[in-house]
Structure formats: structure tokens, C-alpha cells
Chains A and B, each alone.
Chain A
Amino acid sequence: EPEVTQTPSHQVTQMGQEVILRCVPISNHLYFYWYRQILGQKVEFLVSFYNNEISEKSEIFDDQFSVERPDGSNFTLKIRSTKLEDSAMYFCAIRSSRSSYNSPLHFGNGTRLTVT
């Protein structure tokens, strides 16, 4: 089973501040996802990232959000100027092969972001 480590596990930030959430897969993977889950609500797709570029993004993923793989392994989600409504659990997920969309996603343990 592929493993994904997310850091930090909990981030508290003030409104308007920038945050960077990190995702580190244990082995090389090509296809990455970010999801978020506002407390008590359903899981929402944010963005998918393949071969160092964004494949798809949702309406939630506006100009405040960006993703990158700065060193070829870490995969980051940046929120430039956080808002109260960005408070949520953010999950990174990986899929080992783009051609196998039947393969399940493997999730990290999530980062709980609290914006005050």
C-alpha cells in the first residue's frame, strides 16, 4: 500500500495569512490530488496534478490556491490569503498510475487548518 505523509497535522493561522500544506509520498507517484472537508460536510475535490502541472481543478480552487512540486517529491498546497471559510481538513491523495483510474486513491492523514 502506498503511503502518504502530510505535514503539519494541525495548522492554526490568522485570517489573511499564507499557509503551505505539504504532502510527501513514500514512493514515486505521478498523480496527486487535494481534497478538503469542512467540518461536518462532504469531501470536496480541489485539484489534481499530473506530470508537474494541474490536470483539473474545481470551482473552489480559485486564485487564492496554488499547487506545486518544488523538489520533485514534496507536493504542496498554498493558500495565499486565508479566510475563515478555509478552515477545514485538507487531504492529499495519490494514485499510482494515471492510466488506471480504477485504482483507488490513497489518502494522507490530513492537515487540519484552523483560520482565526
Chain B
Amino acid sequence: AQTVTQSQPEMSVQEAETVTLSCTYDTSESDYYLFWYKQPPSRQMILVIRQEAYKQQNATENRFSVNFQKAAKSFSLKISDSQLGDAAMYFCAFTFNYQLIWGAGTKLIIKP
């Protein structure tokens, strides 16, 4: 079965600090893609970052970066210099057979 696990229901961080959200997944596939989506209180779903499994280099998008450990099936998201606008639910997702398999989400709270 393809699964995605986010073990942290909630995380909090001081503004301007760095926070890491964890994600592990399970798959027998060798070529796949991983994503982090952000869902602010408006409940939109916004793509934050994606990683191709065949690439060893970790993806980065401005203040967002991932630590992709393929052997461990781990895909954590690091947010540097946290801003108030980063407060949201963060969902890790894995592409399988044209579908996205979702984690349960981590609520990120930013303390001013």
C-alpha cells in the first residue's frame, strides 16, 4: 500500500526562526514524485515544493527546502526565516499512478 505519514499534528516556531516538518512515505515504486502543499486558513491548496525521486539533489524554493532521503523514504520540509504568512496546514503528498496520496497534515503556528 502507498502511504504518507506526517507524525507531527502541530508545530510552532518563533518568527524568523527555522522549522522542519517531517514526512515519511511507503512505496515499492522506484520513480515517483513528492510534494509539499500549503493550505492557509483560506483553505486554498498551494504547491510549495516538489522533488523528483531520481534526483539526489534536494529541491529548494527560496526559504523552503527539502531533505530527501530516498533509502529512508523520508521527505522533510525546512522553512527558514519563518514569516507570519507561513502559518498554515502543510501536507506532504506522493504521486502514484496519476493520483496524489496525502499525509494527514501538520499545522504550523508562527509566534510573533
Q: Residues on A close to B: CB < 8 A?
A: 31, 33, 35, 37, 41-45, 48, 55-56, 89, 91, 93, 95, 98, 101-102, 104-107, 109-110, 112
Contact A48–B44 (Cβ < 8 Å): no
Residues of the B chain whose Cβ atoms lie less than 8 Å from the Cβ of A41: 104
Q: How far is the CA of A35 from the CA of B102 in the complex (A)?
A: 11
Option from A43, A93, A112 in Cβ contact (under 8 Å) with B91: A43
B95 near A101 with CB under 8 A, answer yes
Q: Give the 8 A-B CB pairs with smallest separation, nearest first.
A: A107-B45, A43-B102, A42-B104, A102-B33, A104-B47, A101-B98, A109-B44, A42-B102
Q: Is the CB of B99 within 8 A of A45?
A: yes
Q: How many chain-B residues does the 8 Å CB contact rule pick out?
A: 22
Q: Does B35 contact A (CB under 8 A)?
A: yes
- B102–A56 contact, CB under 8 A? no
Q: If A31-B98, A45-B100, A55-B98 touch, does A102 touch B52 (CB 8 Å cutoff)?
A: yes
Residues of B within 8 A of A (CB): 33, 35, 37, 42-47, 50, 52, 91, 93, 95, 97-100, 102-105
Contacts of B98 in A (CB 8 A): 31, 48, 55-56, 95, 98, 101
Q: Select which of A42, A106, A109 is within 8 A of B42 by beta carbon.
A: A109
Minimum CB–CB distance from B10 to chain A (whole Å) comes to 12
A-B contact pairs, 7 of them (CB 8 A): A33-B99, A41-B104, A55-B98, A56-B98, A93-B45, A95-B98, A105-B100
Given A42-B104, A104-B35: A56 touches B47 (CB 8 Å cut-off): no
Residue of B whose beta carbon sits closest to that of A43: B102
